[in-house]
Every structure is written in structure tokens, then in C-alpha cells.
Structure 1
Amino acid sequence: MFVPPKLLRVLAFDTSISLQRVPMQLGGLVFLRYVSITQWFEDLDDVVSNNPNLETRVVSGNGAPTIHLPSSIWKPPHLRHLELGNSYMVDPPSVDNENLQTLSWVVRPIHCRQKVYNKFPNIKNLKIFLKDDIEPSHIRGCCNNPIILDHFDYLVRLEKLSILNSIDLNAALPEECMYPSRLKKLKLSETNISEEDLNVIAKLPQLEVLKLENAFHGAVWKVVERGFSNLRFLLIEAKELKQWVVGQKHFRMLRHLVLRSCNCLEQIPECFERIPLLLSIRLEGCHSSLFVSAKQLQQNRRSNKDVKVRS
């Protein structure tokens, strides 16, 4: 069945292909609901300005340098999902957007504040790439103290949060950073969090997925009592972690454990032998004795369910 181009509701294409092959004026696609491209191009401004029905926009390009997008990207009144790769930065909107549910964007630390995110009161999925326009060498040289980000507990509808810090940007979460109680998935990458921060995260009642990628730099992590009661998936990348203290009532719902670059950790806590739902342990670039520990855990399982150990 042939659909006239002007009636298209979904447009997805690779912009590395010559735009001359697109047989239409993009500004005339007034019924578009979904746009997905790999690279921003100038004519896309017309799509934004002339498509009041646009709900989803994806610009997936990643890499360097960072490109500033026009503020018109916020213009569609029904915009619900905006996903930008880490090559694209846009200033915060000037007005509230109550429809936005998904936001993935590059943001300066000075904009990672409550006054900005209050503009998205119904946000459910937030992914932040922390970057800055200042040259990395200037960032490191101007001050040794980290840039402290904000709490996120005011985002009461938030279910998924990812914070990915630029390697050259010295940024950290505040002491005992607070998170929304509805949070189900949390990913922290290259952020400086303490054992106290982990204890706050451990008490989130609905948290199911936790990924810590060089986010915790302590040598000892003693999990708080009854911590992570609902967690299903745990990834830990911690090069300095030497001792991991876990009790019998922790991680009772855990199914999958991934340990990455844990060069100083030599043993998986024995209590993992008694986690009834544990299905797999994956080791990536870890200490050789950790693999031996995982194999021993596999043999000592009291449950009828086997645990797959992979490296």
C-alpha cells in the first residue's frame, strides 16, 4: 500500500547517505510523530518548526566534537521522547515541558540542577552525559575540588537514571545523594560516590538494576543491613575495591552479577552461595583468584539452580 510522503508518521534514516535521495521537502511532513537520524543536518529545523504532532526525536550520533543544537528542538508541543547522542548539546528549555517522559542529553554541570529539571515534572527516563565547553586541561587545572551535582529526589516519577561523566571532568554527587523512591534502574559512570552513598542507594525499595562503572573508589564496601532487597541485576566496575562485605539478607532477589576490572578483589562473598534466584556471574578483566572463587561458589550451591560462571 502506497502512503503519500506528506502523510508519513515515522521517519528513520542514516544521514551519511546523501540527503538528495530524500524525495520530499522535510518541512512538509506535518503528520510526523517519530524522527530518528544518525547526524543532525540543517533542514531538520524545518521538521521541528512545522510538525506540531512530533512526539519522538532521536539523534544518535556519538563522538567528538560536541555540536550545539538550536533551542527549537524543544518546540514541538507534544514532545515526549528526546534522545541525543553524546555529540550534541542543547541549552535547557525556557518553559516547562509537562509531556516529556524520556530525555537523553549532554549537559553542563551548572545545568544539572533542580531549577532545570523542574521543567520536566513528568520525566521517567533521564540519561545525562556530563560535559563542558571548557578545555579539559583547564578544568583540571582551575580547581582540584569536584563540581558537586544536585539531588534527584524531586523527580518523583523518575524510574530510570543514568549519569555518565566525562573522564576529564571532576564532578561528584552530593553527600548522601537522594534519589526518587520509584527508581528502578540506576547507572553511574565515573562519578565519585562514597560508601554512604551506596547505603542510600541500597535502600531504594524498587531498584532492580544497578550499574556502577568506576563510580565507587573505596577499598571497602560493607553493604547496609537489608540492602538491595529488590535488585535483579548488579554490575560493579571498581579497580580499588579490596573487601566486599555482604550479609545473608542482602541481594535476595539477585539474578545476574557482573564484576568488571575488579583487580584488587580476590573473593566473592560466601553469602552468594545462598541467594536462591542467582543465575549467572560474569567476570571481565578481574583478579584470577576471583574466577577461582566464583567456580568454588558454583560448586557449593545449595540450590537446585546452577549458576553460570563466565569470563
Structure 2
Amino acid sequence: MRELKHLEVTESNLPDPSYNGALLPNLLTHLGINALSSTKVIRGRIPKLKKLVIQIELARNTVEPLCCFGHLASLHRLESLKCIIVNPNSRLQVFVPIPPILIFPLSLTKLTLNGLGFPWETMSTIVVLSYLEVLKLQCYAFRGALWKANDEHGFHKLKFLLIEDTDIEAWDASDVNLPSLERLIIRHCYKLKKIPEKFGDIGPLEMIRLDDCNPSLVASTKDCTEKRPSSSKKLEVCVKSSVDDRKLKSHE
């Protein structure tokens, strides 16, 4: 077991490594464990872990499943982290309470959050990740009408951003917040009507994809590309509508 490099389990409780002496010094990938087991894994001191997928099942009136967030910062070599709430309830005003300690490993280059329902203000715990290149926010990972970026802190190395299924209505940001962004995907964000105007000034940006979004957002994005400096990369805007797809199929 000490030579194990990749481990994938499904909704299983693992034994506590600190109790049985099991130490996995060469483990690089750990996929599919639940929140309780992830806490055990972290306490078990797995120094080389690079990829971790945590599945969290929420229970009423308890924050115990979220305690794993208090231990993540100790994974100093972790590069990819995915946290999924397997039973989110979008009808609730607050999905989950913010954990007492929410500190992500500074070594992260890829982060996927799904179903957490955190307020956008919590983004301050992510923007400090100076090596982050890929950020995926899915299924109400964050919720609230306004995402207001802080000009003093930006995702300086972020190249890929996905925002999917959220109730965001306004996005207050500029090119200084995402200076290295290359690909932006916004999917199923029906209330968002305008893309930040300064995004046209992001030099490396080469693709914006809008899937099932508000027509006003589509118009705003196209207007943004028209004002783009000639010295910047060519910016492609891809628009997809499932409504149009259904109409097309009905005429086939």
C-alpha cells in the first residue's frame, strides 16, 4: 500500500490512517471519497497528494460534513481539487453554512466547486490562490445577485473560467481582475444581462461561450468584442441555445 499512487472509491468511509498506521507516502490521486474520509486522509499525512475529489452529502442541522475544509490547507502539493455537494437544494436561501475555516491550498492550479451555495463574498478565499489557472463554478457553487471583484486582488494566472447554473444578476469586474484569461464559459445563467465592459481589454482572451443565457448578455458580449483593441488576440464568441436546437429538430 505504501507504493500506491492512485486510489478511487465511491461514497465509502475509509479507516483513519492516524489510527492504524497506514501512511501512503506516494499517493498522488484520491478520487470520490466523502467528506468524513477526506478529513481522515488529510490527517493521515499524505505528503505527495496532487489531485483530490471530495463528495459531500449534507445533513440537516449539522456542519460536520464541511469540517474537511479546515484541513485542506495542509495539503501543500495539491494541484487539483474538486468539491461536490451531491444533494444540493437550490430552493433554499442558503445551501450550506460557511465552514469555520475555509482555506484552500495555495498550490492549487485547478479548482472545481459544485453546489456549495456560498455567497460571492467568499470568493476572497479563492482569489488569493496565485497559481490557479482553471476555476469551475457549477450548480450554484456561489449564489447571490452581485459578484463584485476586488481590484486590489485578481486571478493573475487564471486562464479558464466556467460559471454554470447560478442566480447571478450583475458582475462587477474589469480586465485587471482576470488579466490572463483565455477562455470564459457562462452556462445557464439566465439572470445575468451584461458582461463586464472591460473584458474586451483582456489581451489573451480568445473565446467566450454562452450556453442558454439571457439575450441581453449575448448582445453585451458581442458589443464588448467590437470595442476590443486591434492589438489583442482575435476573440471568438460562441452562442448556443437549447431552445433553438429544439426548434431546429422539430423542423427536421
Matched, 1:200 2:125: yes
Q: Which residue of 1 aligns with 2:92?
A: none
Q: Secondary structure at the match of 2:73?
A: coil
Does 2:82 correspond to 1:162?
Answer: yes
Partner of 1:99: 26
% identical equivalent positions: 33
Q: Which residue of 1 aligns with 2:55?
A: 129
Which of 1 and 2 has higher RCO (CA within 8 Å, sep 6+)? 2
**CA apart distance, 1:297:** 1.3
What do the CA deviations read for 1:221-255 (whole angstroms, capped 9, x no partner)? Answer: 11122310110000012431111110341100000
TM-score (norm 1): 0.66
1:219 matched to which residue of 2? 145
Contact 2:63 2:97 in 1 (8 A): no
Offset of 1:104 from its aligned partner?
0.3
SS in structure 2 at match of 1:163: strand
User: CA 1:218–1:238 in structure 2 vs 1: closer, same or farther (change >3 Å)?
Assistant: farther
* Unaligned stretches of 5+ residues in structure 1: 1-75, 133-138
Query: Which of 247, 250, 270 is equivalent to 2:197?
Result: 270
**Partner of 1:110 in structure 2?**
36
2:242 corresponding residue in structure 1: none
**How far apart are the structure 2 equivalents of 1:118 and 1:266?**
45
Q: CA RMSD in A?
A: 2.3
What is the TM-score normalised by the length of structure 2?
A: 0.81
Larger Rg: 1
Cα distance change of structure 1 residues 182 and 275 upon mapping to structure 2, 3 Å threshold? same
SS of the equivalent of 1:153 reads helix
User: Match of 2:116, as an amino acid?
Assistant: T
Q: Residue 246 of structure 1 corresponds to which residue in structure 2?
A: 173
| Deviation, structure 1 residue 291 | 0.8
The one-letter code sitting in structure 1 at the alignment partner of 2:147 is W
Q: What's the CA shift for 1:175?
A: 5.2
The answer to whether residue 225 in structure 2 is matched with residue 307 in structure 1 is no
**Structure 1 stretches of 4+ moved >4 Å:** 144-147, 168-173
In structure 2, the CA distance between the partners of 1:219 and 1:175, relative to structure 1 (3 Å rule), is farther
Match of 2:61 among 137, 143, 160: 143
Secondary structure, aligned partner of 2:223: helix
**Which residue of the partner structure matches residue 3 of structure 2?**
78
Q: Which ranges of structure 2 fall in alignment gaps of 5 or more residues?
A: 90-94, 240-252
CA contact (8 A) 2:56 2:65 kept: no
Paired with 1:176 and 1:88, the residues of 2 have a C-alpha distance of 24
Answer whether contact 2:2 2:25 (CA < 8 A) is retained.
no
Inter-partner Cα distance in structure 1 for 2:234 and 2:25: 47
Amino acid at match of 1:163: C
Kept in 1, the 8 Å contact 2:12–2:37? The answer is: no
In structure 2, C-alpha distance between the alignment counterparts of 1:155 and 1:306, rounded to whole Å: 39
Within 2, Cα distance between the matches of 1:180 and 1:193? 18
| Matched positions, count | 224
In 1, Cα distance between equivalents of 2:166 and 2:176:
26
Q: Does 1:293 align with 2:220?
A: yes
Displacement of 1:79: 0.5
C-alpha displacement of 1:88: 4.9
